[in-house]
Amino acid sequence: MGESARGETVIDGLVLATLLPLLGFLLLTGGNAFFVAAEFALVTVDRAEIDRRAEAGDGRAGTVRRALRELSFQLSGAQLGITITALLTGYLAEPALARLFAPLLRPVAGDATDRFTPLLALVLATLVSMLVGELVPKNVALARPMPAALATAGPMRAFSRSLGWLIRGLNGSANWLVRRLGVEPQEELVSARSPDELGLLAAISAQAGALPPETAMLMRRTIRFADKRAAEAMTPRVDVVALRATATVAELLDLAQRTGRTRFPVYEETLDLVTGVVAVPDALGVPPIRRSVTSVGQIAHEPVCVPESLDLDGVLAALRAAGADLAIVVDEYGGTDGVVTVEDLVEELVGEIADEFDPAGTSETGPAEPVAPGGERALLVDGVLRADELAERTGFRLPDGPYETLGGFLMARLGRIPVAGEAVGEAGYEFTVVEVDRHRVEQVRVLRRRGDGQPWSSC
């Protein structure tokens, strides 16, 4: 009985020496998973939603918000927790797993068992720790950041505060090294985004199906609105229909009937000397008997003039302040570049709206003409499309050069004014001139080439 009791005691000791460390290994792996989930959840959680919930009285959201305000400290705490659990995991798991595998491998490996079991134990412990303690919690936190943050923020803050002295010491040392590299450490993650980043987020959201494409497009255009200048939105001088100040009201009404326009700049001698703006309602207020003897200069309103470099926010403010819906765009020399209307500004947000200043028959989208039996299509666009509009419509970005529109690009590539039927190839795209009005390219057919360099179809 004595020998049997001693044998059972030895076996019990071996079991405890193996099972207790394995239990500790599993608990430490769970702890590692907690710290990993807390770290990724704090970085990816929607701060606006956290603020909304906290303001509504959600206590756990308030805890998350406080953790976010000391994000660097909390992340350092998570890293410390991950490091501690990883070290203890290796310390406990390797010998325990080696003792567990030794009896199983000895009949096969013989004397080599003592060399193989530590390696096998290390590989298995590493795999379990990486999968259960790292990858799974990371993926869960990335997929469900809000629940993960709400679940982990409280215990995470308690852990960080309990070891605050150590975390602050480590953080201070790290910050000292970071400053030596010329970078100023940040305690809180900056949540503000630049206009370009916001536009990219809108595009990504649309691609992911989180936003309707039309809404994403409106957001991107709204973000870019203030970056655009009056010269980019105006109707160019060559398309402006104006009246001399000496023209009569009757002539104004006749011109309005022929052109379909309702507002006209009024000028002295040349269009560079605009003295006012007159509209059809002003003319209709003149008694019919007086219309043939009353000049438009007598009923014209003071013009709103804006520099071509003024941003569109400034243009809109100028129009609102004057109670006007048309402004004269002037260049740096005081000459008239064109006119810009409220409709032009709205078009920068929502796309083309056909108004009286648009050439007849034009539109932003233009028809997509069938050009091949297989159903391939070419896009018909205006030659006056700006670089940003062309990129938005076709995906083609104009190379840098002394031009602002698609028509200007074609002129630069050909070295002269194009004629209908001429084509220019660039970066996998083919641009064919469809219509030229005097010296201006009116319409262009855009065709993207196939990967083999051949066009999808001939024009």
Q: For residue range 49-69, what is the model confidence (pLDDT) as tens digits?
A: 888 898 888 888 888 888 888
Indicate if the pLDDT at residue 112 is higher than 60. no
Separation of first and last alpha carbons in the chain: 103
- Residue 9 one-letter amino acid: T
Cα–Cα distances in angstroms (integers) from residue 78 to residues 60, 140, 153, 193, in the given order: 18, 16, 11, 26
CA–CA separation, 25 and 20 (whole Å): 9
CA–CA separation, 225 and 326 (whole Å): 18
With respect to CATH, is domain 368-448 assigned 3.30.465.10?
A: yes
Give me the pLDDT at residue 146, please: 92
Cα–Cα distances in angstroms (integers) from residue 325 to residues 126, 256, 458, in the given order: 70, 17, 44
Choice among 121-125, 242-246, 380-384 with the minimum mean pLDDT: 121-125
pLDDT in tens, 186-220: 665 555 566 666 667 777 777 777 777 777 777 77
Give the torsion sign (CA, 42, 48, 53, 59): positive
The sheet carrying 336-341 orders its strands as 235-236, 336-341, 326-330, 304-307
Calculate mean pLDDT across residues 79-102: 75
Higher pLDDT: 129 or 367? It is: 129
- Neighbouring C-beta atoms of residue 107, cutoff 10 Å: 8
368 phi/psi in degrees, rounded to 5: -95, 100
CA–CA separation, 159 and 166 (whole Å): 11
Q: Which helix (H) or strand (E) holds 276?
A: strand 274-279
CA–CA separation, 165 and 143 (whole Å): 33
Highest mean pLDDT (candidates 83-97, 234-248, 355-369, 436-450): 234-248
Cα–Cα distances in angstroms (integers) from residue 16 to residues 92, 100, 124, in the given order: 13, 11, 20
Helix-helix angle 113-130:71-109, to 10 degrees: 150
Higher pLDDT: 103 or 251? It is: 251
Coil vs helix vs strand at 311: strand
Taking the complete model, does pTM exceed 0.85, yes or no? Answer: no
Indicate if the pLDDT at residue 256 is higher than 80. yes
- Residue 175 one-letter amino acid: N
Coil vs helix vs strand at 51: helix
Residue reference for tokens 């390797």? 94
Going by the DSSP 8-state scheme, the letter that residue 121 receives in this structure is H
Of 395, 374, 390, residue with least CA distance to 456: 374
pLDDT in tens, 407-432: 888 888 888 888 888 888 887 788 88
Give me the pLDDT at residue 28, please: 84
Indicate if the pLDDT at residue 121 is higher than 70. no
Given a contact cutoff of 8 angstroms between Cβ atoms, the answer to whether 430 and 421 are in contact is no
- Residue 308 one-letter amino acid: E
Going by the DSSP 8-state scheme, the letter that residue 365 receives in this structure is S
| Domain positions in the chain | 2-180, 195-225, 230-350, 368-448
Q: What is the mean pLDDT of the chain?
A: 78
Indicate if the pLDDT at residue 269 is higher than 70. yes
Given a contact cutoff of 8 angstroms between Cβ atoms, the answer to whether 219 and 198 are in contact is yes
CA–CA separation, 153 and 62 (whole Å): 10
CA–CA separation, 66 and 104 (whole Å): 52
Give me the pLDDT at residue 100, please: 64
With respect to CATH, is domain 230-350 assigned 3.10.580.10?
A: yes
Burial class of residue 458 in the structure, from the number of CB atoms within 10 Å of its CB (0-12 exposed, 13-18 middle, 19+ buried): exposed
Higher pLDDT: 265 or 226? It is: 265
Higher pLDDT: 65 or 392? It is: 65
Give me the pLDDT at residue 40, please: 92
Structure tokens at 357: 């200043």
Structure tokens at 425: 């190839």
Of 249, 194, 256, residue with least CA distance to 226: 194
Given a contact cutoff of 8 angstroms between Cβ atoms, the answer to whether 131 and 124 are in contact is no
Given a contact cutoff of 8 angstroms between Cβ atoms, the answer to whether 112 and 104 are in contact is no
Of 432, 305, 302, residue with least CA distance to 371: 432
Calculate mean pLDDT across residues 122-145: 85
Percentage helix, strand, coil for the chain under 3-state DSSP, each rounded to 5:
60, 15, 25
E strand residue ranges, 290-396: 304-307, 326-330, 336-341, 368-370, 377-382
CA–CA separation, 459 and 143 (whole Å): 49
Calculate mean pLDDT across residues 119-146: 84
Q: How confident is the model at residue 10 (pLDDT cuts 50, 70, 90)?
A: very low
Cβ-based neighbours of 242, under 8 Å, separated by 6 or more: 264, 265, 266, 267, 271, 274
Choice among 94-98, 287-291, 300-304, 453-457 with the minimum mean pLDDT: 453-457
